[in-house]
Amino acid sequence: MEKPSRDDSGGWAELEYQSGFGNHFSSEALPGALPTGQNNPLLCPYGLYAEQISGTAFTAPRKQNQRSWLYRIKPSVTHEPFHPRIPGHKHLVSEFNQLTSSVTPTQLRWKPADVPDAPTDFIDGLYTICGAGSSFLRHGYAIHMYAANKSMDGCAFCNADGDFLIVPQKGRLLITTECGKLQVSPGEMVVLPQGFRFAIDLPDGPSRGYVAEVFGTHFQLPELGPIGANGLASPRDFLAPTAWFEESFLPGYTIVQKFGGELFTAKQDFSPFNVVAWHGNYVPYKAKADGFLPGGASLHSCMTPHGPDTKTYEATIARGEDAEPLRISGTVAFMFESSLIPRVCPWALESPNVDADYYRCWIGLRSHFSCNGRQAVNSSLTANSGEVLLGDKCGA
């Protein structure tokens, strides 16, 4: 398979993907690069190194076992020792306790964050909003946002704490991984599993979006339930990359690793994207969805009531019992939901983008109670286990 090349617009030419979720994939960028009959032969084709990346315990049952074999020009262990990154990153958290974050039952909403003026790539533009648990204990999650204006140059990022699920809100992401390349547009999402090295280019300039991170587990498709065999999320909607590699001498190339919420760097003299062939079921992947307009974010903590605002509620019930269903198109609101109570980072609570008047959107709700008759209500107010609602705008 030929390596993708850049087109005149600065984006990547058409990429090939493999369809499926949790499948055992295989891909090779050079014919015959994948060994046959064994994973780790004494001599691999083309003089490649065999390397396994494990997403679960080595002895996990077959149904749960996740791992891939990578056949690369130089092994990933070929680097100098790691050192704390200088300057450090003060806005990443993976240990949520009273020292790093706070709890509040108040409904919160943030306006869209401004893209920074200073050159900022995905790593420096990433910041934590809230979360629960600990990456050290391998249990919990973190919700981040990012705002960046430049591509990653001369470096790759590796998250040793958990899986990233990235949802770009503005600007495409061109993501190079050890398994190949992925183009992710607003309205799509991408999962970068724990341990994979990746680099993010921004072909459209400034970019902004959301990131969910899980500790000690991996994202799964929900069970089908009462909907039946044809659920809303189909395995064929998910796309894995095909093998792509570069063989370059790159003195001073930097691996940035997130480890326990802190950033460390190590130098090496070659690109980590030197995997000529691979096979397995532990891979980066994306899924397609409908596009949505840029918006903000809101946080509704455990058992905190929330729901349609006054304007939306009144407009809905004014349509009466005979009103036809109303389709809202051209926008998407998506939700990161957890039963764990989120702790909010101080910079998120103190952000100038916090909407201090968020509570007012419900203040105008009045009583419609009548002893003489009933009134149909097509909207509901709820209190549930807790959610972060993203891409929405109250009353939209």
pLDDT at residue 290 in the model: 41
Q: Give the angle 103-107-108 at the CA atoms, nearest 5°.
A: 85
What is the rounded distance in angstroms from the CA atom of residue 193 to the CA atom of residue 165?
8
Structure tokens that stand for 218 in this block: 């991996």
What is the rounded distance in angstroms from the CA atom of residue 167 to the CA atom of residue 180?
19
Helix intervals (H) in the chain: 310-318, 346-349, 360-363
The residue written with tokens 């370059």 in the block is 248
When pLDDT is averaged across residues 12-33 and rounded to a whole number, the result is 91
pLDDT at residue 257 in the model: 97
Is the pLDDT score of 165 beyond 60? yes
- Give backbone dihedrals phi and psi of 189, rounded to 5 degrees, phi first: -135, 160
How, if at all, do strands 155-159 and 249-259 pair?
parallel
Is the pLDDT score of 118 beyond 70? yes
pLDDT at residue 216 in the model: 92
User: What does the mean pLDDT of the chain come to?
Assistant: 86
When pLDDT is averaged across residues 180-185 and rounded to a whole number, the result is 94
How, if at all, do strands 25-28 and 275-280 pair?
antiparallel
Closest CA to 140 of 79, 248, 48, 213: 213
Closest CA to 154 of 273, 311, 244, 73: 273
**298 — pLDDT class (breaks 50, 70, 90):** confident
The residue written with tokens 């990359």 in the block is 241
> Which region among 73-87, 189-203, 243-257, 346-360 has the lowest average model confidence (pLDDT)?
346-360
What is the rounded distance in angstroms from the CA atom of residue 211 to the CA atom of residue 157?
15
Residue 306 assigned as binding residue: yes
E strand or H helix that includes residue 109 = strand 108-110
All structural domains of the chain: 80-220+232-273+282-288 (2.60.120.10)
* Strand arrangement, sheet containing 334-337: 108-110, 297-300, 387-390, 334-337
Is the pLDDT score of 4 beyond 80? no
**147 — pLDDT class (breaks 50, 70, 90):** very high
What is the rounded distance in angstroms from the CA atom of residue 312 to the CA atom of residue 314?
6
**Maximum CA extent, the chain:** 85
Closest CA to 383 of 299, 297, 302: 302
E strand or H helix that includes residue 250 = strand 249-259
pLDDT at residue 324 in the model: 76
> Which region among 137-151, 317-331, 371-385 has the lowest average model confidence (pLDDT)?
371-385
pLDDT at residue 309 in the model: 83
The residue written with tokens 């998910």 in the block is 238
**373 — pLDDT class (breaks 50, 70, 90):** low
Closest CA to 36 of 279, 244, 260: 279
**354 — pLDDT class (breaks 50, 70, 90):** confident
278 close to 36: Cβ distance less than 8 angstroms: no
pLDDT at residue 325 in the model: 77
pLDDT at residue 378 in the model: 45
